[in-house]
Amino acid sequence: MTKKKIITLALVAVIAVMAIASASIAYFTDTKTSKNTFTMGDVRIVLDEAPVDAEGKATDGDRVTANEYGIGAAYPGAMLDKDPTVHNTGSNPAYIRATVNVSNWMNLVAAYYPEFEATFPNDGYKAALSLLVGELGDGWSVVDVEAGDTFTVGQFDAKFVLKYDSVIAPGEDTSPMFRQVLIPAGIDNANAASFNEIKIVAQAVQENGFDTWEAAFSAFDGS
């Protein structure tokens, strides 16, 4: 074989390899597109209560997010209407937790309920909320109590942590946490000014991914 023929064959071989490579590349870069659409859920709640009149009694008006009880309603021994309720307005079922912060409640319990022997933060002190609101609504229970939003010299709020036993489906509501507030009968001017607020906060965690209420709110608190 002459030198010229050898060169010619070599060029043919290179061209053939390039042609095969080109065909392979065309094959592997062929693409098909599939579009997937995900509709994400959400968790939304509303916390409200019935409006009250000047005497602290519930009326038939639109539900409200806060009430103010004037001196005509809030006096020693008064029973005021209050029915805080959580509504699931989102698209996911949810676990529900609430906190009830009562201003200066540690001092007031000691001063006006001497028969109540539990002291903060002992486990039995969780029952101190019942002195103020009576029985809790169906499904609600006090699972913890902690120092409240104001915890300074002379002012000791108590914050009660409430669990709702059932998962609330979209469009459903909890039962009212309670239906009344009982002003201590013996309260006097010295303590009345410090007993001026009950603040309720509701929280929700989607059920999906959590087997229990405890697991859901453990993740919530750690986030």
The mean pLDDT values, 10 residues at a time, for the chain of 223 residues are 35 40 44 56 88 92 89 86 94 93 94 94 96 97 94 87 97 96 89 88 91 94 82
Q: How many CB atoms lie within 10 A of CB 153?
A: 5
Query: Which pLDDT score is estimated for 36?
Result: 63
Nearby residues of 201 by Cβ (< 8 Å), 6 or more positions away: 47, 98, 99, 101
Query: Which pLDDT score is estimated for 39?
Result: 54
Tell me the backbone φ, ψ of residue 59, rounded to 5 degrees: -115, 180
Taking the C-alpha atoms of residue 115 and residue 105, their distance in angstroms, rounded to an integer, is 15
Positive or negative, the Cα torsion across 96, 97, 101, 105?
positive
Taking the C-alpha atoms of residue 119 and residue 125, their distance in angstroms, rounded to an integer, is 6
**Which residues lie across from 159 on neighbouring strands?**
101, 146
Query: Which pLDDT score is estimated for 72?
Result: 78
Instruction: Note the pTM of the prediction, 2 decimals.
Output: 0.81
Taking the C-alpha atoms of residue 208 and residue 95, their distance in angstroms, rounded to an integer, is 10
Query: Which pLDDT score is estimated for 108?
Result: 94
For residue 68, the 8-state DSSP code is: -
